[in-house]
Amino acid sequence: MSEWPIRKLGDLCTKITVGHVGSMASRYVTKGVPFLRSQNVKPGRIDLSSLKYIDEEFHRHLAKSDLSAGDLVIVRTGEPGVAAVIPEGLGKVNCSDLVIAKPGPDVDVRFLCYAINETAHEFIKAHTVGAVQQHFNIASAKELTLQLPPLIEQEAIAEALGALDDKIAVNGRIAADIETLLRSIYTSLSVGRRTIRIGQVGNLVRDSIKPDSLSGGEPYIGLEHMPRKSIWLNSWGEASGVSSVKSAFKDGDILFGKLRPYFHKVGIAQISGVCSTDIIVVRALEDGCRSWLLMALSSDEVVAHATARSDGTRMPRAKWSDLAEFQAPWAEPVKVARFEEIAVPLIKKAECGAAENRTLASLRDTLLPQLMSGKLRVRDAERIVEDAV
């Protein structure tokens, strides 16, 4: 790695600017031009789960923050320094409060993204400013230094790591498609006037766990681990840092985020563990209706009902009693059973994909620093990746 020249980001890019900075709350529309914010930028990828939109006229007004496929974006506030590449297929895109870098011809943008996410932590930490909310400003971004191999080696490193990320993305799309399919089948089977109280299908689990009874290695799910509007709870932490009473849950239980329920955090547990008490744990009364209960509790209608009935102004919380009384769509027993037959293997497929993604991500995170330091040859990394994917 010592043979690689040190280059400034400002010298590697044809242009570095910053996205729109200012209040946006009144400018969002239901449908229009995608508008990225810091929470949409994850290490190496763009997360569209909480995407906002602006109209065409405002998009034209914000020409400076217009984005194109292949642009590199870096978070300024929130998690300063997190970088991702704008993918193909988004069309017109705009953004708020992101550093926008347009790489020049002698740099591979994918390599640049990996390099920033892996090697720039200390520089970015040392160059964040602000007393109330720290941010990484554009002047510092231009001065960010990186060690840069020849373009052909950049492309090879990015290709090897990208193969892992591509497989992770494929598994993610399959899981999203499975949820869409399950939602569609559930809707088609529940056509009619039949309804049932959610409390007749599922029951509140009240298993409290004191911190001194935990070994510390148990899986822990907090609201921060739960994605919005997705039933797949693919990530979790460990209970080692738990210092207060938590709730126990089992594999297959349904977790409903009760704090600010409008965030729509509802999903099915893939493991047994403990969770925040700001999460309601619901268990199907019969295994044969678990998938139906999952679809009902994660529906827009139930989340809207929970939001409307929640207590508190600044920190509203939903209550199980309100969820239990909600009249959800129902169907003949044979249809509910048929839905379970369809749903169980599909849910298992999505969960297997998530498990594979955790393995692939761990491999990528192991290879990344070795490739960036020059300790691992690209040829060796390619063989490891081929075996994995």
**pLDDT tens by residue, 311-337:** 888 899 999 999 999 999 999 999 999
Contacts of 97 (CB under 8 A, 6+ apart): 18, 19, 20, 21, 37, 38, 76, 77, 135
Contacts of 214 (CB under 8 A, 6+ apart): 239, 242, 246, 274
Cα distances (angstroms) measured from residue 134 to each of 76, 139, 141: 8, 15, 14
> What's the average model confidence in pLDDT over 75-86?
92
Helix (H) and strand (E) counts in the chain: 11, 24
Whole-angstrom distance, CA of residue 256 vs CA of residue 178: 20
Q: What's the chain's Rg over C-alpha atoms? A: 23
Residue 67: DSSP 8-state = B
Contacts of 336 (CB under 8 A, 6+ apart): 189, 288, 289, 292, 330
pLDDT digits (tens, 9 = 90+) for 164-191: 999 999 999 999 999 999 999 999 999 8
Token pair listed for 291? 């998938």
Cα distances (angstroms) measured from residue 349 to each of 219, 339, 342: 21, 16, 12
From its phi and psi, is residue 336 left (phi > 0), alpha (psi between -120 and 50) or beta? alpha
Cβ 29 vs Cβ 58: under 8 Å: no
Percent of the chain with pLDDT over 90: 78
Neighbour tally for 348: CB within 10 Å: 12
pLDDT digits (tens, 9 = 90+) for 118-128: 889 899 989 99
Confidence of residue 131 (pLDDT cuts 50, 70, 90): low
Whole-angstrom distance, CA of residue 174 vs CA of residue 5: 41
Residue 373 has pLDDT above 50, yes or no: yes
Res 377: pLDDT:
87
> What's the average model confidence in pLDDT over 364-373?
88
> What's the average model confidence in pLDDT over 360-364?
93
Closest CA to 328 of 220, 212, 205, 186: 186
Q: How many CA atoms lie within 13 A of 315 on its CB side?
A: 1
Closest CA to 387 of 167, 154, 110: 167
Query: Hey, what's the torsion of the CAs at 175, 181, 185, 191, to 10 degrees?
Result: 110
284 DSSP β-pair partners: 202
Strands 195-197 and 327-329: antiparallel
Confidence of residue 2 (pLDDT cuts 50, 70, 90): low
Res 78: pLDDT:
84
Confidence of residue 1 (pLDDT cuts 50, 70, 90): very low
Contacts of 363 (CB under 8 A, 6+ apart): 164, 384, 385, 388
Task: Put the strands of the sheet holding 94-95 in their side by side order.
Answer: 52-54, 33-36, 94-95
From its phi and psi, is residue 246 left (phi > 0), alpha (psi between -120 and 50) or beta? beta
Contacts of 133 (CB under 8 A, 6+ apart): 77
Confidence of residue 117 (pLDDT cuts 50, 70, 90): very high
Strands 208-209 and 202-204: unpaired
Reported in sequence order, the residue ranges of 124-236 that DSSP labels E, i.e. its strands, are 128-129, 135-136, 145-147, 195-197, 202-204, 208-209, 219-221
At 231, the amino acid letter reads I
Query: Can you say whether the dihedral through the CA atoms of 200, 290, 247, 262 is positive or negative?
Result: negative
Mean pLDDT of the chain: 93
Q: Could you please report the per-residue DSSP string of 82-121?
A: -EEEPPTT--SBEEBSEEEEEE-TTS-HHHHHHHHHHH-H
Contacts of 337 (CB under 8 A, 6+ apart): 288
Element (H, E) at 237: strand 237-238
pLDDT digits (tens, 9 = 90+) for 248-283: 999 999 999 999 999 999 999 999 999 999 999 999
